[in-house]
Each structure stands twice: as structure tokens, then as C-alpha cells.
With several copies, the nearest count.
Chain A
Amino acid sequence: MTSLIEPRDTSAVAAPRSPATRTSYREALRQSIRHAMLADERVFLMGEDVGRYGGCYAVSKGLLEEFGPDRVRDTPLSESAFVGAGIGSALAGMRPIVEVMTVNFSLLALDQIVNSAATLLHMSGGQFNVPLVIRMATGAGRQVAAQHSHSLEAWYAHVPGLKVLAPATIEDAYGMLPSALADPDPVIIFEHVMLYATEGELPNDAGAVPIDRAAVRRTGGDVTLIAYGGTLGRTLDAAEQLATSGIGAEVIDLRTLRPLDSATILESVRKTHRAVIVDEGWRSGSLSAEVSARIMEGAFYDLDAAVQRVCGAEVPVPYPRHLEQAALPQAASIVAAARAVAGA
């Protein structure tokens, strides 16, 4: 397997290792699903409007025509039943990719995910593993208000038995799915709504990528910025801004939210002695808290300053753009936090 973990826009890299094609995050996902379905008959896609509508974020457009309604399966609005059907079919030899339109609606399927998918293997003494992949859109930024803008990655990352991924780059959008499908256990993939339209270069020989480690997206010696999914871009922007004032920021993309790759985080913090965690989720109880706690436990004596967090405001996401943006981590707030931590 090729496993290139690189900055999110590989076009920014001077000499790409291999020929690459410019593509979007959405298109990378679609091609990844296509290739998985071509490679393995057991793989099928199931969810609301994945077929005739083409996917609510247009990810699966064209797949129905290519693979037919058995393998690109439109479901009624029955989140619990079709997620459960994914679990059952995984138990019986299929490799389902279940699309839950957005994490907001996944609340309706949580019982199946937590009480069945995540528990069956352990509870059955190792007899029944669940090779299921669930994809869902997450996050705010599209002005779709309080019921359509949740970032609940932290909830899923709390559950033993699940693996939780957050592809933030084109290459991860393409490469995480095959790894998730090869995994014998349930994997949840969070696709941030603001990423679908982002573009970058995808190496022509791109393939599966590891799903057990974080990636250093930018190196720096003064402060570690830790982000994932939708906030990686703003965090890299913040790092650029910090560079102009002489602060070298190292940027870590968590990539895998469960199990967390503590080693990569701690290694960086031991070097920079300072850290800021960026998380779009509501601050209290967000994943950033777990990361902070792990740094406390693993690198306390290496810290020169308290680790800080830049998170979503603790408010149901409001509709108007100015309020919505105010509720989300911004490059400016990341820069400010990094400066404060760096004492600069």
C-alpha cells in the first residue's frame, strides 16, 4: 500500500513524487467508493438519496448508473433501520458503506452504532466482528443552523469498539476509505461539509493510507497546533500568519480520532513545549479536552505554558453568517491563542 501523508494541497509541494491529478475532496471520495466497489463485490453503498438524487452532497453522483440499485441502495428515512441493516449485512459477509447524510441525523441511529456495532465483538467473546463503514457529513459553515451543524466527533471517539476517522485532505479522502473497508471492525468516517469543494492534487498512484496515526502537516519549533477535519485549513492558515511574525508552528492533523495517536502529539509537544488544540465541537467535552488531558498526563514536565484550546462556542449554531462564524474557531483566534501560549 502506498501511504503518503502530506500537506493537504499537494500542489503546494514543489516536486510531487508521482504524477498527480487535480481533483476535489468530493471527487476523491467518489472515486474511492467506485474503486472499492470495482475491487470487491461485497462492497455496497446504502443511505438516503445516495442513488437517484446522487447523494445530498453529490458524492455518489453517477454511481447508481454504474453499479445499479442493488449496490447503490436508496433507503427511506429510517436511520436506525438502515444503519442496523449495515451492521447485519457486515456480519453476514458484506462490506457495507452506509452513508448517514449528516452527523445530526445519526442521533437517530446511535443505539445501533453504540449498542450493536461497537459491542458485538467483545460481548460475543470475539465471535462476531462488524466490518462496517459509516460515512457522515459533519460540521458547520453553511448557514444551515442549529439542527444541521453539529460536530459530534467527540461522542463517537468516546466509544470503545469504534474507529473514528476525519479525513482533512484530498489524499485522506481518497485513501482512508479502502483502509476502513479492510478493517475488520466498525469505522466511522467524518467528512466536513466545508471540505467537499476543496481542491488539490491527488497522486495518480494514490492508495490506501494508514488509519492509525496522526500526521505532521507542517513542522515548526515554537508551538504545536493540533487540529482535525474542517479546522485543519484554518489552523494551517494560522501557522502561516504566525510564521510572518517569527513563530514556528508545528501543525498536527489528528486524522484518526479513535484511537488517538498520542505518540505523535507528545513527540511534538516535547519538542515545542507549547500547544494549542483547535476543535470545532462545543468546547466542554469536545475532543480537545481529551487531547489536553493526554498532554497533561504525558508531557506535563515538558510544558512551558498551559495548553490552550480554541473551540466552537457553546451555543446551538445560529443561522446568520456573522454569528455562525463567531461561533467557530477562526484563524485569528488560533493565532491569538498561539501567541498567548508562546508568550509572544
Chain B
Amino acid sequence: MSAISALPNGTATEEASHALQLLRQMTRIRRFEERCGELYKQEKIRGFLHLYIGEEAIAVGVMQALTPDDAIVATYREHGHALVRGVSARAIMAEMYGKQEGCSGGRGGSMHLFDAETRFYGGNAIVAGGLPLALGLALADKLQRRARVTACFFGDGAVAEGEFHETLNLASLWRLPVLFCCENNLYAMGTALARAQAETNLALKASSYRIPAWDLDGMDVEAVEHAAREAAAAVRAGEGPYFLELRTYRFRAHSMFDPELYRERSEVEEWKKRCPIANYVLSLKQRGLLDDAALATIESDVAREVDDAVAFAESGTWEPLETLTRFVYSDTQPSP
């Protein structure tokens, strides 16, 4: 990619606290999801559960570039995005339990986190299904002359879908303020990218729509943040959509049903050496921005947060059967 701007200017302390903040956010996702995995085995969480473990740097990095007014569209692998965006761990965990205190009232579960307050538009379980939605959110902003960004996350698998193509073309043609974030973890379920795409350079593909597209190390949270900031600024300034290909890897199975027949254990281990959190810890320590005490504080804070979220979800309540069909249509219907 082209040269990117530096971190927002500031003093060394600000830099340190920002770095710790990035680490804290990644750690929140990691620990939260590790617990989710356990809770799945305990059958507290059911249905499909897709863990983001290994990919945390992307959600954390990109989210730094967004303001509260911006919108997010994500996939079924979206716990991390919701957490970093500011949906509470409590509301997310309660949602995974299916409790009505969850961020979607318990109806969506793991794949369908929604939150109007933080403009978190899901939680879409149809691969590429969120892209046209993001297009529309951005179109509304353009029509209403609001300088907002819609960040749209999706996987490498989505790139093969017709909806990807239609959306990228339209976003570019209409110069809509969408920040496309392609989380290229090299697999769509068991299908390796090279078995799905004639052209595996996804950024290159995106540029064929005349969209500025960069491919980035999605394991490097600061690199992701830098690029996202620059891209989001351009999008916000009315330059049209930008596309980030974020190269990463999922450390866990696709979902809890996946026996992982399609990749070698050694490949996973190789990638784990590039863990975005472990390496960031190392780097911060080398740069003198982190010591063991600070790390321990983060870990214990996060552990407390996760424990609290679980307790909250445990003590949550079930939606009564009586309201099953509520919100099939809106409560307030205009008088005819």
C-alpha cells in the first residue's frame, strides 16, 4: 500500500495509552471468545458459533478509525466487532445465551448481534448479504449529505458471490462512503482461497471496480489502524469507497461443528506464531510501553468483565412465549 499517515499526533504518554488501549481491546475479544468456546461445550451457547480468535487486530484496528456516528455491518463472525464498537460484553453474552437482555433481545444469538445505539447493523449470516445493506446505509448518508462512513466487514469467501460484485460496482459508480474491510483468513469454511478464486489478490480484484484498494497485514493492529484511518478519512471526505484486504488467519475451527479436515495442523501452528496479541505484547514491551504489571491489569480487568458478562447472561431471563410474534411487524402501525 501507499505510505500511510502516522498515528494521531500526541505525546508519548498518549501514544502509550493508545497502544495499551489497542492491546486491551484485542484481549477483550480473545478472552471473551475463549469463554464462549467453553460455554458452547457446556451447551449454554447453542446453534452456530464462529470464533474470531486470531483475527482480533482487524476489528480493533479498523474500529479506531470510526466515530460514533459511523455505521458497521458485519458477518456471523462478529462478536469482536460488536465488543470493540461498544456493545457491552453483558449484552453480547446475554444474546449468545438467547436471553432477552441480549443486544437483539435474545432472538438473534451469536450470528445476529444488533445494536441501534452504536449503529451496529448486524450480524448477517448470509455470506455477502451485508454488502448491499452497507451500500444502502452509505447511500442514505450521501443523499442526506452526512459525512459518515459505513464500515462493512466480510470474509474472503464473500468475494465469489454475485452480491460482492454488484455492490462494489455500485459503491464506486455512485461514490458512496463505504469502507470495505475484507477479512481474508484464507479459508471459506473448508475451501482455501486458491480453490475459490481465479485471482487470489483480492485488493487487485477490488481495484478493477476503480476502488482504491490496499492489502495489509491483518495481524498488525497498528498497521490496520493506520490504513483504516487514512482510508476512512478519504471516504469521509467524499472520495468514494475504499477497500482494505486484511490478511489474517482463523486459529479455531470455522464453527463448532468443523472437524478441520481441510488444513494441516502445522499450518495452523505456523500462523499462531503470528498471533496479533502475543506479538503486540512483545513489541510493546520492546518499545517500553508495556510491563508485566500493566499486562496483568489488562488481563484481570478483562477477566472480570467476562465473568461479569457471563453472570449477567446467566441471570438473564427468557422471552415469554407470548411475545414470539412481536416485531414481525412494527408495534406502531399507521392508522389506515
Contact = CB atoms under 8 A, between A and B. Distances in A.
Interface stretch (B12-20, B119-127, B236-244, B302-310): B119-127
Nearest to B46: A143
A85 interface: yes
B330 A146 contact: no
Interface in B306-329: 318-319, 321, 324-329
Contacts of B103: 125
Given A49-B190, A53-B258, A315-B328, A85 B132 contact: yes
Interface in A281-330: 313-316, 318-323, 326-327
Interface stretch (B1-9, B59-67, B158-166, B211-219): B158-166
B324 A77 contact: no
Given A52-B190, A53-B190, A91-B121, A78 B324 contact: no
A92 B132 contact: no
B112 interface: yes
B166 A105 contact: no
A145 B107 contact: yes
A216 to B, nearest CB: 17
Interface stretch (B30-38, B135-143, B277-285): B135-143
Nearest to B192: A52
Given A128-B121, A323-B107, A185 B136 contact: no
A84 B188 contact: no
A185 B330 contact: yes
Contact of A127 (B115, B138, B158, B163): B115
Contacts of B106: 125, 318-320, 323
Interface in A22-48: 44, 48
Interface stretch (B167-175, B227-235, B288-296): B167-175
Interface residues of A, number: 84
Interface of A is mostly: loop
Given A53-B190, A80-B163, A147-B124, A88 B137 contact: yes
Interface string B221-260: 0000000000000000000000000000000000000110
B162 to A, nearest CB: 6
B145 to A, nearest CB: 10
Given A115-B129, A161-B328, A78 B47 contact: no
A68 B133 CA distance: 24
Given A85-B170, A129-B330, A76 B191 contact: yes
B334 A91 contact: no
A284 to B, nearest CB: 12
A108 B161 contact: yes
Contact of B188 (A77, A86, A161): A77
Given A94-B143, A121-B328, A183 B105 contact: no
Interface in B145-202: 157-158, 160-163, 166-167, 169-170, 173, 188-192, 195-197
B104 interface: yes
Task: Count chain B CB atoms within 10 A of each CB in A3, A61, A87 and give the residue with the most.
Answer: A87
B324 A327 contact: yes
B163 A126 contact: no
B329 A179 contact: no
Contacts of B167: 78, 81, 84
Interface string A98-133: 000000110010011001100011111111110000
A90 B143 CA distance: 12
A145 B108 contact: yes
B160 A78 contact: yes
Nearest to A98: B136
Contact of A123 (B112, B262, B321, B331): B112
B328 A314 contact: yes
B191 A49 contact: yes
Given A126-B327, A145-B125, A185-B330, A320 B195 contact: no
A75 B136 CA distance: 13
A35 B99 CA distance: 45
Nearest to B152: A88
A18 to B, nearest CB: 19
Nearest to B255: A56
Contacts of B122: 120, 123-124
B105 to A, nearest CB: 2
B114 interface: yes
A266 interface: no
Contacts of A80: 132, 162-163, 166
Interface string A256-274: 0000000000000000000
B135 A81 contact: yes
A70 interface: yes
Contacts of B71: 92
Contacts of B105: 124-126
A81 B160 CA distance: 10
B332 interface: yes
B47 A142 contact: yes
B76 to A, nearest CB: 9
Contact of B327 (A3, A70, A85, A122): A122
Nearest to B47: A143
Nearest to B168: A81
Top 8 nearest A-B pairs by Cβ distance?
A88-B136, A84-B132, A125-B105, A53-B190, A320-B98, A319-B109, A81-B166, A210-B336
Given A143-B98, A145-B107, 8 more contacts: A51-B190, A85-B139, A93-B144, A127-B114, A144-B125, A147-B112, A313-B324, A320-B318
16 contacts: A3-B336, A52-B195, A78-B160, A82-B170, A83-B132, A88-B135, A91-B133, A91-B137, A126-B327, A145-B108, A146-B107, A147-B124, A160-B325, A163-B329, A314-B325, A319-B108
